[in-house]
Amino acid sequence: LLDQYLPQDDKQELTPGEAVKGMIMNGLGFANRPLSLSPQFFTNLPLEHLFREGVQASHFNRHKLGRTLDQCFEFGCESLFSLVSGQACEIEQVDKTFESLDTTSHSLTGEYAFDDGDSDENVIKITHGYSKAHRPDLKQVVQEIIVSQDGGIPLACKNWDGNSADTAIFKARSKALVDEFKKSQAPKYLVADCKLYHKSNAEFLTKIQFLTLVPSTISLEKYT
């Protein structure tokens, strides 16, 4: 699948898809080891069965793996994740009628200084924000994820600045899902907590089917 979207080289010894597969296999057993030790991991493995004839341990060197990671970044890691997840769900016949959306925060130690004037939208700002881990003293990043109600399979994910609000994240996701839900042959529903139900998101909620709670701050809710 990845080889359909990532650049190919006629002189390559490994395809980008094989390189990613190798990194995943390596990470399952040695998550904290540097990429430079990847050839060592594959030395005594039956690579002709795991990959194909001709693949050697030395092919998984840090230069090849580094270039592959750059290619993934240039294409979009979140887009690649959704493509892989979509194919996996299709193969395993996962029911994606109900897609549950939520966020979490990941606390980090350290300064993580950043330039307030940085206009690069791809830069995630590690900063203070509402901490779901109850550590307001630490800087953080916010992670958004959508999972299937059937089996809790991750369908999409995105990282946000540490001070991003759920209302803004849910609005952006609702907007992105409008076209996807329209193209779907089967009914689809977005499931999320009360932060989805916000006046700034009304434009997009009218175009998709969704399940949520009415916030207690809305006066109408107090009388129901």
Domain ranges of the chain: 2-75, 78-222
CA distance 188 to 209: 7
Predicted confidence band of residue 192 (pLDDT cuts 50, 70, 90): very high
Q: Tell me: pLDDT of 221 over 60.
A: no
Q: Which CATH number fits domain 78-222: 2.70.98, 3.40.50, 2.30.30, 3.30.420?
A: 3.30.420
Q: Tell me: pLDDT of 196 over 90.
A: yes
CA distance 197 to 191: 11
pLDDT at 115: 58
Mean pLDDT of 68-93: 94
The secondary structure of 175-189 as a DSSP string is HHHHHHHHH-SS--E
Mean pLDDT of 106-119: 74
Using only C-alpha atoms, the chain has a radius of gyration, in whole angstroms, of: 21
Q: Are 193 and 102 spatial neighbours (Cβ–Cβ below 8 Å)? A: yes
Q: Tell me: pLDDT of 95 over 60.
A: yes
CA distance 123 to 83: 23
Q: Are 195 and 170 spatial neighbours (Cβ–Cβ below 8 Å)? A: yes
CA distance 190 to 125: 27
Q: Tell me: pLDDT of 17 over 90.
A: yes
pLDDT at 11: 86
pLDDT at 114: 66
Q: Give tens-digit pLDDT for 26-54.
A: 888 777 788 888 999 999 999 999 999 99
Burial (CB < 10 A; 0-12, 13-18, 19+), residue 189, is middle
In the chain, at which residue ranges do the beta strands (DSSP E only) sit? 98-108, 139-148, 154-160, 189-191, 210-211
Query: Quick one: which H or E segment has residue 77?
Result: helix 77-92
Measured CA distances, 58 to 19, 64, 65, 94, 151 (Å): 12, 10, 11, 37, 38
CA distance 169 to 201: 10
Contacts of 125 (CB under 8 A, 6+ apart): 114, 161, 162, 163
Mean pLDDT of 149-168: 95
Mean pLDDT of 57-74: 95
